[in-house]
Structure 1
Amino acid sequence: MNLNMNLDFEFATAKQILFKTNGIMDIAKSILKLGKYPLVVTGKDKGRAKPLLDALSHASMNYVLYTIHGEPTTTDLIQGVEIAKDSKCDMVIGFGGGSVLDSAKAIAILMNNPGELMDYLEVIGKGLPMENPSAPLVLIPTTSGTGSEVTKNSVVTSQEEK
């Protein structure tokens, strides 16, 4: 091995990662620092989010629930953004697997940026850069393997573009 090689690198990931036994009980304290009225994105089995919803209710936080049924579509994201904006949500919480977390990330970034979803999608859209940072976002993975909670990207299906 050449010891004169430059091995420096930078690894950018999520701003903060918490791993705690029964951490869901303490989550509302952290969330209150970010916003007051979250859109909570879950998978089709909303019952799995009951501990989170109970923690939010216990902290007297109102929330809007939005359910994703499978891989997120452009229609799902547009509807989620509309619900968040119409309800005046000020943050997003994603609770579930990779599809839910991808949806939550996309909804949070679209809440704070002008234009249409297709303006920002790569490959099938215009691929424009985001003008503004995301709305505050908390991701709570319930599965392991996708790593969706530590990336900026979202995988989305466009039925129109196939």
Structure 2
Amino acid sequence: MPVPPRVVTTADAVELLRRLAGRHGPLMMHQSGGCCDGSAPMCYPDGEFVVGDRDVLLGLLDLRLAVGETARTLPGDRDAVPVWISGSQFDAWKHTRLVLDVVPGRGSGFSLEAPEGLRFLSRGVVFTDDETAALASAAPLLGRDWAAGARPEPATEPTVVAEAADACPVPPARGATS
């Protein structure tokens, strides 16, 4: 089994990232571990957030892609949005694929989308046993590796989904009948 992506994004989140990149240049994301921003995915101009040596790269979002497409090459700086998470947060989430979505509302003032009336939202889905086994064969890329010039291989499966439910099914509400 190929190594599954640790992060996927919705088409709406990619569209917002494209708008923000057009305004601010290359971007980066950091999945926060809490405190004042409430575990929100935060969007910054690339390099504005200092990535630590032990931070883990969840993946590169490719702004060139549409729903269902798979890249054959890594995106250039303008189209690549690295998504980071702290090492300790990764240890808690390593069994989970992060699904980056966007919803109406006002997020943190630290993140670039705050003035847009939208906020990024992390959703998650637990990896299957087969996916977990495949991930065990691929050590995650750390901040120190990135600083030394290492880059991940392009994803082998699509990383842009039409909507969050395509990557992270929402269970029916309690008491709901089908």
Same fold (TM over 0.5): no
Q: Provide TM-score, normalisation by structure 2.
A: 0.29
Q: Provide TM-score, normalisation by structure 1.
A: 0.31
More helix by share: 1
Pick 1 or 2: higher relative contact order, CA cutoff 8 A, min separation 6: 2
